[in-house]
Amino acid sequence: MGEFIDLKAAEGHVFPAYVARPAGAPKAAVVVLQEIFGVNSHIRAVADGYAAAGYLAVAPATFRRVKANVELGYDEADMQAGIALKAAVEALPAPGVMADIQAAIDHAGAAGKVGIVGYCWGGLLTWRAACNLRGLSAAAPYYGGGMTGPDEVARKARIPVLAHFGKKDRHISVDSVLAFKRAHPDVEVHLYEADHGFNCDHRGSYDAAATTLARERTLAFFGKHLG
């Protein structure tokens, strides 16, 4: 359904993005932000799913500034490789990868209003985008790693945000999620009986019920704010 194209950030950095188009004219657009495993088959499938729902979906390769052609799996070696790549990107001078996300938003904007969704590290970047970037109308971070830490809680979203977390997530405590919600009563926060990564059917933590419910909520949320 989709294909890779090249996008260019404001300062000239060129990076690939997977673009999936709906069968007819798009009703709006969704930027899809990867986990720490690259724009792999799972993230491409997520983008395809948003295209099937009528959106132009754009999934930028957010590792490209430190390494090209990253497509990892979910075993321990790939997990460690992804953690190292994430650390390298996070260490870049500002604005770093946020410039690439802005370029993806700008490209997606040709289809109308733009929402953004991201998973794990992509969830964290989705929250940052909701607070700092332009051209967005709604954001839906999934289990954003670090999103409930003090530095991130101190940010203020500029747009409506719907956040998904798992009650069994060992990386993001329920207490920290509840503290985040208290700090941001305007953010719609949902907790599921699920673990970190519950949306990814390539992982052992995949939870079909939580995935279905979170997707229904996200599509309704985007329908409200991107329609």
Say whether 120 is catalytic. yes
DSSP annotation of 160 reads -
The question of whether 225 is a catalytic residue gets the answer no
75 is catalytic: no
- Looking at 106, 169, 195, 207, which residue is catalytic? 169
Residue 120, SS3? coil
Q: Which of 196, 200, 207, 225 is catalytic?
A: 196
User: Which tokens hold the place of 194?
Assistant: 């699920």
Is the omega angle on the peptide bond into residue 160 within 30 degrees of 0, that is, cis? no
Edge-first strand listing for the sheet containing 14-20: 2-8, 14-20, 55-60, 28-33, 114-119, 138-142, 162-166, 188-192
- For the chain, count helices (H), then strands (E): 7, 8
State the catalytic residue, choosing from 100, 106, 120, 207.
120
Q: Are 157 and 186 in contact (CB under 8 A)?
A: yes
Quick one: how far is CA 8 from the chain centroid?
Answer: 19
Residue 19's nearest CA partner among 35, 7, 36 is: 7
- For residue 116, is it left (φ>0), alpha (ψ between -120 and 50) or beta? beta
Question: Which residues are catalytically annotated?
Answer: 120, 169, 196
